[in-house]
Amino acid sequence: MCGIIGILSKKSAISDMLTNSLERLSYRGYDSAGIAFVESGKIECIKSIGDISELKKKASNQKIDSRIGIAHTRWATHGGVTLANAHPHCTNLVAVVHNGVIENYHSIKKELELEGERFATDTDSELIPILITKYLEAGCEKHIAIRRALNHLEGSMAILVLFNDEPNKLFGYKKNTPLILSFNEDRSILSLSSDIYSIMDLNKYYININDDEMVVLDLDKKFNNKHDYDANYIYDNKYQLINKKIYLIDKKNNDLTGKDKYAHFMLKEIHEQPVVALETISYLYNQNTNEFLFDKNILDKTKSFLKIVGCGSSYLVGTIGKLWIEELADMTVSVDIASEFRYKSEPLKIYDAFLYISQSGETADIITSANYIHNQTSKPIFAITNNPISSLAQISGGNIFTKAGIEISVASTKTFITQMISFALLSLAIAKNKKIDLDYQEFCQDILTIPRKISNLLNDEELIEKIKFIAKSIYRSQSIFYIGRGVFYSIAMEGSLKLKEITYIHAEALAAGELKHGPLALIDENTFIIALCPKNSLFDKMIVNIEEIIARKGKMIIITDDNEISETFEGNNCIILNVGSEYNLFSSPALYTIVIQLIAYYTALEKGTEIDKPRNLAKSVTVE
């Protein structure tokens, strides 16, 4: 999964624009980076390994006057992290950047090698410029050469293409991975990129590119209506111009891409959670009228049997949503991991609807699965996503947009909380639509307290110091266990995921009742166990599980809302973290989530790992 950007500019050289945009895209990949541009009829290329800052240094040492360029930040899929494998990939005639995966790469490469072609990299992407060059040399026009090259390739791709003899034209193509066209008021700057955040400081308008569409940006081309529709840049698969709706870029989050006073984006985003929680609540619930503000189609079509599908943290929040919807809305809910669900043999007709969860709305496993469902059944597809212009939002027949804003850190924090709040309100909205008798005002009052309670917790200096002490205690551990029951088992799984993502410590979540069925064999005096122990109906059973661990000399970290638990366990090889608020159905899981986020963050800080950009991971994984 990678980030790509291409820029045409009438006014100034593009070097700084490209590298600055790459910095905004670096959450999509940071193994290596590169830029290519056209000068005096020749393609020039600059590449670097690691952080974008190294590429900026190299580019600043070379005088670049070009007004056209493409750039790429890589998350390796094929081939190691080397300068040769970094994009762009070039021939004398063509330069290409690619986001996606070519699934039939090996067979096509073998065919070309038998024809005498020589490859300089281990990547799948190198096929693209080689094939395009082959068709150019056979006499094809440029757009035909691109189409013919791509016809050989199976998989996902968003590509940008430069030609050595076209200093004013940039070509792009999209299939199963995101691509956005944007421009400023007078169209002196035109760009194509993986997402809208990369060009927020450059441009004012954008157009969504759909699958199998080709874009030809041309600085010399006249344009029509700049505020509504335009047919000057985008072509269908028969190379006919397409009318496309033009949208205004919402720049309210443009200033959120800096760290402000925080050492890391992750910590900043943890502290943004009171604000985004409130914005998400306000978007989905009208406090003055006590109305739920969901698409009526979602509520009417979600009656008896719902399938929820997600990946990573989104999958885990789906397991929380399942429990709430089943408890409150008298429904059966099934939850699946997207990468598994797509390839299962399961009767689809039993479900009323399919609800997909994705922060970016571009996750390849999600999009592939949603498209499969769309093609296999007439049942409705709905989505919870943070990205209104995403592929998922376009596939969906009804959307629930979280208000998390830009999230740069790879480890999800504020997107998890806003998705959780969305499920809390959705469970109540479905129940109300089904006329189930509940105390809706009491439940909604609990949800309304979430922003304030999170803020109080984040400002609890004593709690933060205890978490820092815990971090110092556990950061050398080889393995850590989390335990919980019900919703808190799901949060335990999220806690273990956060810890392994950014600390590289092996972490495992266990349903607390399962300890006695095998995992207790792993507990000894060197083992840390983090227990989520709210004072709900399962509190007494959790206490029994904690006693089982203490009897085997395990080291306990107990997160709780019970004020008396310290008298029983504090000092008995136990550390107690109190969330400072009594148990409630919706607000308590949110507070426990904040604590497990902070434990992961401060443990990573002790270890000195790259918190925002953990090794081998990227933010929005647009490859299967």
Spatial separation of the C-alpha atoms in residues 237 and 248, rounded to whole Å: 27
First CA to last CA distance, the chain: 9
**What's the chain's average pLDDT?**
90
Q: What is the pLDDT of residues 353-389, one digit of tens each?
A: 999 999 988 888 999 899 999 989 999 999 999 988 8
Question: DSSP strand E in 280-387: where?
Answer: 285-286, 291-292, 305-310, 332-337, 353-358, 381-385
Has residue 151 got a pLDDT over 90?
A: yes
Q: Where in the chain is the domain with CATH 3.60.20.10?
A: 3-248
Asked if 2 is an active-site residue, the reply is: yes
What is the predicted pLDDT for the residue at 621? Answer: 58
What string of DSSP letters covers 184-206?
A: -TTSSEEEEESSGGGGTTT-SEE
Q: Which of 2, 90, 444, 533 is catalytic?
A: 2
Name the pairing type of β-strands 180-183 and 381-385: unpaired
436-454 pLDDT, tens digit each: 999 999 999 999 999 999 9
Q: What Å distances lie between residue 123 and 100, 128, 429, CA to CA? A: 11, 10, 48
Element (H, E) at 594: helix 587-607
More confident residue, 224 or 584: 584
Query: Which CATH class, in words, describes the domain spanning 459-610?
Result: alpha beta
Residue 309: predicted pLDDT: 97
Q: 3-state class of 312 per DSSP?
A: helix
**Structure confidence at residue 132 (pLDDT):** 96
What is the average per-residue pLDDT within 100-125?
Answer: 90
Neighbours of 97 (CB within 10 A): 31
Of residues 624, 593, 600, the one with CA closest to residue 614? 600
Q: 220: pLDDT confidence band, cut at 50, 70 and 90?
A: confident
CB atoms near residue 516 (< 10 Å) = 11
Instruction: Residue 372: name the closest of 399, 396, 342 by CA.
Output: 342
Q: Averaged over 11-23, what is the pLDDT?
A: 84
Contact 358, 381 (CB under 8 A): no
Q: Per-residue pLDDT tens for 506-533?
A: 999 999 999 889 888 889 888 999 999 9
Closest to 177 measured CA to CA, from 366, 416, 337: 366
Q: Which of 72-81, 226-235, 533-542 has the largest mean confidence?
A: 533-542
Q: Is the pLDDT of residue 28 over 80?
A: no
pLDDT at 253: 60
Catalytic residue among 47, 414, 555, 619: 619
Q: Is pLDDT at 232 greater than 80 in this prediction?
A: no
At 356 the three-state DSSP class reads strand
Phi/psi at 466 (5° precision) = -65, -40
pLDDT at 228: 52
Percent of the chain with pLDDT over 70: 95
The CATH number assigned to the domain with range 3-248 reads 3.60.20.10
- DSSP state letters, 241-296: B--EE-EE---TTGGGGS-TT-SSHHHHHHHTHHHHHHHHHHHHEETTTTEE---H
- Position 225 scores a pLDDT of 58
**What is the rounded distance in angstroms from the CA atom of residue 435 to the CA atom of residue 430?**
9
pLDDT tens digit sequence for 169-211 = 999 999 888 899 999 888 889 999 988 878 888 888 889 898 9
Q: Positive or negative CA dihedral for 564, 531, 603, 590?
A: negative
- The region of weakest confidence among 249-253, 311-315, 580-584 is 249-253
In percent, how much of the chain has pLDDT > 90?
64
Segments of the chain assigned to CATH 3.40.50.10490: 261-448, 459-610
Enumerate the β-bridge partners of residue 332.
Answer: 305
CATH C-level class of 261-448 = alpha beta
Q: What is the pLDDT of residue 255?
A: 54
Give the pLDDT confidence score for residue 357 in this predicted structure: 97
- Kindly tell me if the per-residue pLDDT of 231 is higher than 60: no
Does the structure show a pLDDT above 80 at 61?
no
Question: Can you tell me the distance from the alpha carbon of 444 to that of 287, in angstroms, rounded to the nearest whole number?
Answer: 9
Nearest to 172 by CA among 6, 37, 45: 6
- pLDDT for the residue 531: 97
pLDDT in tens, 533-577: 999 999 999 999 999 999 899 999 999 999 888 777 877 689 999
Under 8 Å between Cβ of 7 and 180: no
